[in-house]
Amino acid sequence: MDFWKNPKAWGALAIAVVALILAWQFWHWEIDRVEVPANKYLVRVHRWGKDLPPGEIVAPDESSKGVMLEVSQEGRHFLNPLIWDYEIHDIVNVPPGKCLVLTRKYGNEIPKERLAQGDVLAHEGERGIVREVKLPGSYRINPYAYRWDVVNAVDIGADQVGVRILKVGKDPRELPADPKRPRYMVPEGYRGVQETVVRNGTYYLNPYVESITPIEVRSHRAELLDIEFPSRDGFNLKPQVLVEYQVQRDKAPEVLVRLTDEGILHQADSTPAQQEQNEILQKVILPHIRGYARIEGSNFDARDFIITAGAAGNEKAANTRERLQKALLAKVQPRCLELGIDIRAVLLGEMKPPADLAEQISQRDLARVEQQRNMVKIGQLKEMQKLKSIETLKEQNKQKVEANTRLEVAKTQAQQNKQVEESKLKQELESAQIKLDAAKAKATGIVAKGKAEAAVIDLNNEAEVAGLRKAVQGFASVATFAQYHVLTRLAPSLREIFASDESDFAKIFSGYMNSPAGIPSKAPGALSEKLTMPKFTDAAAEAARRDNKANPGR
């Protein structure tokens, strides 16, 4: 009681209350206060409460410990640091032409049955990719609850169509067989390339759900410089080919599937490098034009295409090119239509001639100029000829009279010369006949004399052969006869041979040192002994002497 009556006590109480209020205000405004700047947002983290289940990072309410799902916008907030922790993040801005794809980090797992069916998207309360995308704008997204990716929107222009590929949906293997349905397309709602194209506009797509590929369906003109074909006369021609083509609108999905390797159809064709990447040109148009150009172009001659402007026959060259253009279009267009490419026109421009053909064309042009110059000269000469023809005609008549006179004189003189020559030739003919008869008689005598001399020579040869045959009969063999003649020619020159029987020089005569058949040989000895002649019969010796006498040169 004394406390309440004591003024000092009241003073102390008042001071304590004021101090408490000041302390609370300080704590509230200096400790609890959190200022969130513009373009920022606040993520709260509860320090106390129930523990979250394993794998969960977001608290369902304030009774649990962890990150709160709901975020707070910019401005002033009061959070007791003993109970709350917080983080300030930048607002997620999605610019025009882009969209935001979210992936939820909390919730239940997607059932395996749905994953097996190809459904990889998270439903409400499930962890995974969210189907809906965020359009351009500003968003406050809890980074602990979601992961996001900024992807480009797909713009389909007025001259384009979109080929839609659905990545989540019904299994296309469940479709009944339908021969009328395109082979690579599926109906709406099934996974795969949709058979219905998308019209022009801007589409914000979840790339995990679907994609749209723009395909130009406007007319393209491409200048092809690598077309070459042989002409009928053997020249290689390189024409400048201009092709106008476009993708058929309803077959754009089929074109994309058939021609692309990575799902991107390159349709730029202004430069050679762009044409090299253009699948329509490289896989459809160029192979067909190259093939049919070789086939159809070989039916024409090179000169039918390459004729300079203003030359006679230029209309023929134009007709030839037009014929080849029509033939190429008629062959290429149906084949390309089967693949979804409409060939509007095939035009043949300037053809670069080969070097040898160009030289011929240059020479022909020079010859044409020279021909025109000569035509002018011919006209001048014709006028001069007309003037001179009158003078020449007068001179001709005069000379004609003189020529007729000389002709009569010449005829008379020729008749006389003819008679004289005929008489002379008759005499020469008679003389030649006499000489011919004498030559025939002389030739007959020469032939008879030659036959007689030939008979004598034949008799001499027969006698010589008979003597030789008789001489050989006196020896034991023809080899003995030959040995005899060799030794008779060597004996006068070789008196003694000072060498061993086994030397190379002695071996030359070893074949001749053996006694003839039937004559005993001496005992073997040194070759230093004198060579001895073999003994022969008297008849053989006599035959040999006759042979040497008849043929002293042997």
Regarding whether 347 and 299 lie in a shared domain, the answer is: yes
Grade residue 285 by pLDDT with cuts at 50, 70 and 90.
very high
What pLDDT is stored for residue 93 in this prediction?
93
Whole-angstrom distance, CA of residue 58 vs CA of residue 44: 10
Q: Is 395 helix (H, G, I), strand (E, B) or coil?
A: helix
CA atoms within 13 A of residue 550's CA, in its CB half-sphere: 16
What pLDDT is stored for residue 21 in this prediction?
83
For residue 130, CA distances in Å to 7, 89, 101, 125, 249 come to: 70, 22, 7, 11, 32
Name the most confidently modeled range: 182-186, 218-222, 504-508, 544-548.
Answer: 218-222
Rounded average pLDDT over 15-40: 80
Q: How confident is the model over 236-264, as pLDDT tens digits?
A: 888 888 999 999 999 999 999 999 888 88
Q: Is residue 461 part of a domain?
A: no
Regarding whether 47 and 19 lie in a shared domain, the answer is: no
Whole-angstrom distance, CA of residue 236 vs CA of residue 399: 63
What pLDDT is stored for residue 125 in this prediction?
84
Residue tagged 């004598």 (tokens): 456
Whole-angstrom distance, CA of residue 309 vs CA of residue 302: 16
Amino acid symbol at 422: E
Question: Looking only at Cα atoms, what is the longest distance across the chain?
Answer: 205
Helix 355-473 × helix 478-490 angle, to 10°: 90
CA atoms within 13 A of residue 29's CA, in its CB half-sphere: 6
Grade residue 498 by pLDDT with cuts at 50, 70 and 90.
very low
Q: Is 514 helix (H, G, I), strand (E, B) or coil?
A: coil
Q: Which residue has the higher pLDDT, 497 or 134?
A: 134
State percent of the chain over pLDDT 90.
23
Of the listed ranges 21-35, 339-353, 369-383, the one predicted with least confidence? 21-35
* Residue 501 pLDDT > 70: no
Regarding whether 270 and 157 lie in a shared domain, the answer is: no
Rounded average pLDDT over 187-211: 91
Q: How confident is the model over 398-410, as pLDDT tens digits?
A: 888 888 888 888 8
Regarding whether 231 and 344 lie in a shared domain, the answer is: yes
Regarding whether 381 and 279 lie in a shared domain, the answer is: no
Which residues share a beta bridge with 243?
Answer: 222, 346
Q: Is residue 462 part of a domain?
A: no
* Residue 470 pLDDT > 80: no
Q: Is residue 251 part of a domain?
A: yes
Show Cβ contacts of residue 365 under 8 Å, excluding neighbours closer than 6 positions.
Answer: 308, 311
Q: Is residue 184 part of a domain?
A: no
Q: Where are the alpha helices (DSSP H) in 70-129?
A: 112-116
What pLDDT is stored for residue 161 in this prediction?
94
* Total number of domains in the chain: 6
Contact criterion met (CB below 8 Å) for 202 and 154: yes
Regarding whether 406 and 345 lie in a shared domain, the answer is: no
Q: Is residue 469 part of a domain?
A: no
Rounded average pLDDT over 432-444: 86
Q: Is residue 463 part of a domain?
A: no
What pLDDT is stored for residue 56 in this prediction?
81
Report the run of H or E that residue 162 belongs to, with start and end: strand 160-166
Average pLDDT, the chain: 81
Q: Is residue 247 part of a domain?
A: yes
Query: And the tokens for 511?
Result: 């074949």
Q: Look up the CATH number of the domain holding residue 230.
A: 3.30.479.30
Q: Domain residues for 58?
A: 32-90
What pLDDT is stored for residue 496 in this prediction?
53
Regarding whether 200 and 150 lie in a shared domain, the answer is: yes
Of the listed ranges 27-31, 67-71, 103-107, 115-119, the one predicted with least confidence? 27-31
Q: Is residue 363 part of a domain?
A: no
Contact criterion met (CB below 8 Å) for 88 and 74: no
* Residue 11 pLDDT > 80: no
Q: How confident is the model over 94-152, as pLDDT tens digits?
A: 999 999 999 998 888 888 888 887 788 888 888 889 999 999 999 999 898 899 999 99
Regarding whether 338 and 244 lie in a shared domain, the answer is: yes
Regarding whether 345 and 224 lie in a shared domain, the answer is: yes
Regarding whether 397 and 333 lie in a shared domain, the answer is: no
Regarding whether 199 and 101 lie in a shared domain, the answer is: yes
> Hey, how many other C-beta atoms are within 10 angstroms of the C-beta on 544?
19
Contact criterion met (CB below 8 Å) for 94 and 137: yes
Whole-angstrom distance, CA of residue 406 vs CA of residue 408: 6
pTM of the shown model? 0.56
Strands 33-36 and 75-78: antiparallel
The DSSP secondary-structure symbol of 511 reads: G
Of 321, 353, 385, which residue constitutes the final position of a domain?
Answer: 353
Regarding whether 344 and 261 lie in a shared domain, the answer is: yes
Report the run of H or E that residue 203 belongs to, with start and end: strand 201-203
Contact criterion met (CB below 8 Å) for 35 and 29: no
